[in-house]
């Protein structure tokens, strides 16, 4: 048996290697497309052209544009899918549910390390910041705003997001103690009500919209 044949025999099946190669090419092409055009303007069809594959293959590997974008970032959490968890929770527990879910998902050291890189991308200047901002605006903040059913829904969503961003930065990037080592349940109990108020609270002291 030739050396090449032996390597093929010991390695992954040829079909599997081809699939992995195609998926990698799509992710690379997507990263270039998002960087050049931003999240909003990029399309799956354009990514397929750049990768030299049929657009159906992109849909085979990735559910939608948000899924593909998350793959380019190697995001440990799909931010848009976090909202599916929130929508399943009782309205009065949305804030605590959000904090507890995020921190629990990031208990894994590798996931936490990846979120640090993503946060640093968001803070830096350049196209990385633009595409991340557009992704969060479309897939997260807009859906949060719709959840509130309030006239100032956009402001409420942004304020809630600012609390989450601040918590992530403090816990994972700055590693400020005792926040960095606090249990997820403890932080959910303390920070969750603040997010809940931003989303649903009445600035005049009453109950929030939809409650």
Residue 195 near residue 160 (C-beta atoms within 8 A): yes
In sequence order, what are the residues at sequence separation of 6 or more whose Cβ sits closer than 8 angstroms to the Cβ of residue 21?
none
Distances (CA, A) of 134 to 35, 40, 129, 130, 153: 11, 6, 9, 6, 18
Give dist(CA 125, CA 129) in Å, integer: 6
CA 27 to CA 58: how far, in whole Å?
9
Domains for the chain: give ranges and CATH numbers: 3-72 (1.10.10.60), 75-200 (1.10.357.10)
Residue, of 55 and 123, whose pLDDT is higher = 55
pTM of the predicted model as reported, rounded to 2 decimal places: 0.70
What confidence tens digit (pLDDT) does each residue in 44-85 have?
999 999 999 999 999 999 988 888 988 887 877 877 778 888
Q: How far apart are CA 49 and CA 58, in angstroms?
A: 10
pLDDT at 141 (0 to 100): 82
Overall average pLDDT of the 101-108 stretch: 92
Q: What is the pLDDT of residues 129-188, one digit of tens each?
A: 777 777 778 778 888 888 888 889 989 988 998 899 899 999 999 999 999 999 999 999
Q: Which pLDDT belongs to residue 58?
A: 94
pLDDT at 13: 45
């Amino acid at each position: 048996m030739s050396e090449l044949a032996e390597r093929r025999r010991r390695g992954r099946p040829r079909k599997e290697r081809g699939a992995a190669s195609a998926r990698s090419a799509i992710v690379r092409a997507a990263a270039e497309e998002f960087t050049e055009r931003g999240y909003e303007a990029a399309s799956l069809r354009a990514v397929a052209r750049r990768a030299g594959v049929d657009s159906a293959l992109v849909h085979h590997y990735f559910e939608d544009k948000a899924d593909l974008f998350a793959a380019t970032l190697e995001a440990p959490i799909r931010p848009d899918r976090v909202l599916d968890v929130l929508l399943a929770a009782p309205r009065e527990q949305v804030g605590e549910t959000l904090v507890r879910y995020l921190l629990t998902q990031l208990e894994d050291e590798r996931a936490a390390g990846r979120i640090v890189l993503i946060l640093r991308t968001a803070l830096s200047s350049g196209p990385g910041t633009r595409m991340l901002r557009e992704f969060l605006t479309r897939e997260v903040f807009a859906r949060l705003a719709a959840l509130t059913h309030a006239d100032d829904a956009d402001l409420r969503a942004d304020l809630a997001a600012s609390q989450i961003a601040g918590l992530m930065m403090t816990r994972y990037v700055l590693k400020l103690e005792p926040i960095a080592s606090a249990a997820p349940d403890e932080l959910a109990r303390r920070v969750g009500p603040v997010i809940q108020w931003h989303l649903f609270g009445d600035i005049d002291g009453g109950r929030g919209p939809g409650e």
